[in-house]
Amino acid sequence: MSTAEKNTNLIKALAANYGFDYCGIAKAQRLDEDARRLESWLNKGLHGSMQYMENHFDLRIDPSKLVPGARSVITLLLNYFPEQKQSEAAPKISKYAFGNDYHEVIRSKLKLFLVEMNEQIGEVHGRGFVDSAPVLERTWAQKAGIGWIGKNGNLITKQSGSFFFIATLIVDLELEYDNAIAKDYCGTCTKCIDECPTDAILSDKIIDGSKCISYFTIELKDALIPDAQKDKFDNWMFGCDTCQDVCPWNRFSKSNNEIAFTPIPEILNLSTNDWEAMTEESFKTIFKNSPLKRAKFEGIKRNLNFIKK
């Protein structure tokens, strides 16, 4: 067995030990095709007011700018599909935000993962990323053979759908590479496009971020959501899962086993009236470890006000 093969096996075993559901590896290289797609997305203003998406273009398309001497990009997926559902009276919250903030949960796993790689393999330079860094995570997951990019823009796995977080480890270690899935298993389906409440899904797997409910309810920092969107949110208060809920591949979703993603009871049970009555103090206490913090108390109140009939 070659050293690359031995190290690859070890990394895939470590991924499973840390509770990741998928692990795939791609050769670290410049993403020229994606650079064109990203550039066009930005030029069309589909990022709305998410100015951070304009920053670090060179880093986003070239892993060796993030880790000097980068050889491999390891992609790890963590399932967040919950067993529990929200009550009918609750304002809708995206499933990814039911439990503790995934950034913290995954970051600590990645840290330990790198330490263990160094202990077991020898000196490996690398960095772990989840979400907030300039890394095209969906592209790397696709290149690592884990799934395909659906018409709804999400990375979809054939075995268990798309309710997964994506994390990447960029390392200066030569490994064995997985083959990208060449095929697209969306076929003639257009359910996500038809059902998106704000028509944010364009052709060619392009998402108009500036029209997505997730953008309006989480990323938009303005005091008001534009009137043109009124009555379109279908009771989504934080994020939106519609294009994944309607995706036939998500009938294969299995409940996650991550204790940290156990739903916060208030998310499942509070009615819109309960939310309206909530004070800032209770919000800060109940959601201190939750992704809802990103929208802040004022953002949640703004969203509640906007979805009110």
List interacting residues with ligand B12 (CB under 6 A). 34, 37-38, 41, 50, 53, 94, 96, 130-131, 135-139, 142, 149, 152-155, 162, 164-166, 205, 207, 209, 212, 214-215, 219, 239-241, 243
User: Is 178 a residue of the active site?
Assistant: no
Cβ-proximal residues to 278 (8 Å cutoff; 6+ apart), any chain: 270
Cα–Cα distance between 39 and 210 in angstroms, integer?
16
Taking alpha carbons only, the member of 257, 282, 247, 245 closest to residue 82 is: 257
For residue 249, the partner it binds in ligand B12, ligand SF4, none, with Cβ less than 5 to 8 A by kind, is ligand SF4
List interacting residues with ligand SF4 (CB under 6 A). 150-152, 186, 189-192, 196-198, 200-201, 207, 212-214, 240, 242-243, 246-249
- In whole angstroms, how close is the CB of 10 to ligand B12 at the nearest point? 24
| φ/ψ bin of 273: left (φ > 0), alpha (ψ from -120 to 50), beta (otherwise) | alpha
For residue 165, the partner it binds in ligand B12, ligand SF4, none, with Cβ less than 5 to 8 A by kind, is ligand B12
- In whole angstroms, how close is the CB of 200 to ligand SF4 at the nearest point? 4
For residue 37, the partner it binds in ligand B12, ligand SF4, none, with Cβ less than 5 to 8 A by kind, is ligand B12
Q: Which two tokens stand for residue 286?
A: 């109940």
- In whole angstroms, how close is the CB of 209 to ligand B12 at the nearest point? 3
Rg of the chain in Å (alpha carbons): 20
For residue 247, the partner it binds in ligand B12, ligand SF4, none, with Cβ less than 5 to 8 A by kind, is ligand SF4
- In whole angstroms, how close is the CB of 236 to ligand SF4 at the nearest point? 7
Buried-exposed string 18-57: b where 16+ CB fall within 10 A, e elsewhere: bbbbbbbbbbbeebeebbebbeebeeeebbbeeeebeeee
Q: Which of 32, 62, 101, 131 is catalytic?
A: 131
Q: Which two tokens stand for residue 234?
A: 């279908």
Cα–Cα distance between 154 and 160 in angstroms, integer?
13
Residues annotated catalytic, as ranges: 131
